[in-house]
Amino acid sequence: MKPCTRYAASLLFATGLACGGDEGPGDPPYEKLSDWGFFEGDLVDQRPAADVIGYTVAAPLWADFAGKGRYMRLPPGGKIGYVDQDPWSFPDETIFIKTFFFDTDRSDDANTARIVETRLLVLEDTGWESYIYVWDDAQREATRVKGGADVDIEYVDSSGQAQTQLYLVPDQNTCGDCHARDDVAFVLGPITHQLNVDAPADAAMQGNQIDLFSELGLFEGAVAPAATLPAFAQPAGGGDLDARARAYLHGNCSHCHRPGGGGGPSGLSFLAWEQTPAKYGVCKVPAAAGGGAGGRRVDIAPGDPEGSIVLFRMQSVDPEIKMPELPSLLSDDFGVELIREWITALPDPPCE
């Protein structure tokens, strides 16, 4: 028999911690979220430490009603390598922090958020590594999990009824299903188009985020004024329909549907800067959609949302059919209506 591996040892270690053992924090990745020191005061208040910067994105990924707090920590003196189009480059030891929370009383405007998980992407010498922390009921601490967790979210809906929603915290390997292309992991939100919007209302500094990053000296070299740089329309905003729809599709689909991504072999690309309509699905015949085609013949049939595979898959909750495949369980009604409106408005010479 072989001697026991590190696997068993780490499990025993995890058992001790999860069951209330009181070891020191050890080396990263820490077992407790608080050990990273991202936040000051009570962890639940998510008050960024001096070296942590909150930000937002123009076109967020739908996550089953979860709200998200987004933060970034650069190493001391570390600079971001800016490019107009993705990907930006980041110095080693950069950490992205994303906290997922739910409004537990949707019948009023009061802040009744419950935080469920916090995900980290840490740039190590092996590339971006993911670590996931699940929050306790008391909202005091979050503990690292590798294998994911099923969480029942109890909430009061807008009509005052008590409801329960299943929310899936992904396992660690699932992170790469969205973040990796050609075996290399990337951050998805922090690109020019997504960050070229105003900072969140509760952020310490107000104004356009790219301009703020410039002022803070976060970029390597000079970056032009944000107004001259590419930007996504906010999908729920009041801008041009085509721009809002393409931004939505980028934020929700392009992590897979782009060359090198998990959906790359289908030939479909939802990068917002893809200019060839056939490549973003217009009159495109699916390659291997299986039941996902739903009897529809093309990904996007201009003027015919009900004849478009894209809309069919966005509305489904069947694991075989639904898009995006991961990790959500619920359809995004807002996104469905936006894409329906967009397909309806596309000029419609019929697909051959």
Partners of residue 129 on adjacent β-strands: 122
For residue 307, is it left (φ>0), alpha (ψ between -120 and 50) or beta? alpha
Query: What number of chain residues touch other proteins (CB under 8 A)?
Result: 72
Cβ-based neighbours of 194, under 8 Å, separated by 6 or more: 57, 58, 59, 232, 251
CA distance 187 to 89: 10
User: Is position 204 an interface residue for other proteins (rule: CB under 8 A)?
Assistant: no
Cβ-based neighbours of 53, under 8 Å, separated by 6 or more: 71, 72, 73, 74, 216, 218
Q: What's the min distance (Å) between Cβ of 183 and other proteins?
A: 7
Partners of residue 237 on adjacent β-strands: none
Among 95, 97, 309, 338, binds other proteins (CB under 8 A): 309
CA distance 335 to 223: 32
User: Is position 149 an interface residue for other proteins (rule: CB under 8 A)?
Assistant: yes
Task: Name residues contacting other proteins, limited to 275-294 (CB under 8 A).
Answer: 278, 283-294
Task: Name residues contacting other proteins, limited to 223-252 (CB under 8 A).
Answer: none
CA distance 244 to 272: 10
CB nearer to other proteins: pick between 22 and 109? 22
User: Is position 32 an interface residue for other proteins (rule: CB under 8 A)?
Assistant: no
CB nearer to other proteins: pick between 8 and 227? 8
Region of 23-31, 67-75, 224-232, 324-332 interacting with other proteins (CB under 8 A) = 324-332
Among 157, 265, 333, 341, binds other proteins (CB under 8 A): 265
- Paired tokens of 56: 């937002």
User: Is position 330 an interface residue for other proteins (rule: CB under 8 A)?
Assistant: no
User: Is position 124 an interface residue for other proteins (rule: CB under 8 A)?
Assistant: no
Among 129, 171, 198, 304, binds other proteins (CB under 8 A): 171
User: Is position 174 an interface residue for other proteins (rule: CB under 8 A)?
Assistant: yes
By CB atoms closer than 10 A (0-12, 13-18, 19+), residue 202 is exposed
Three-state DSSP at 190 gives coil
For residue 34, is it left (φ>0), alpha (ψ between -120 and 50) or beta? alpha
Per-residue binding string, other proteins, 178-197, x by CB under 8 A, is --x-xx--------------
CB nearer to other proteins: pick between 54 and 302? 302
Region of 28-36, 94-102, 198-206, 318-326 interacting with other proteins (CB under 8 A) = 318-326
CB nearer to other proteins: pick between 181 and 250? 181
CB nearer to other proteins: pick between 180 and 272? 180
CA distance 120 to 227: 30
Q: What's the min distance (Å) between Cβ of 32 and other proteins?
A: 12
User: Is position 18 an interface residue for other proteins (rule: CB under 8 A)?
Assistant: yes
Q: How far is CA 240 from the centre of its chain?
A: 24
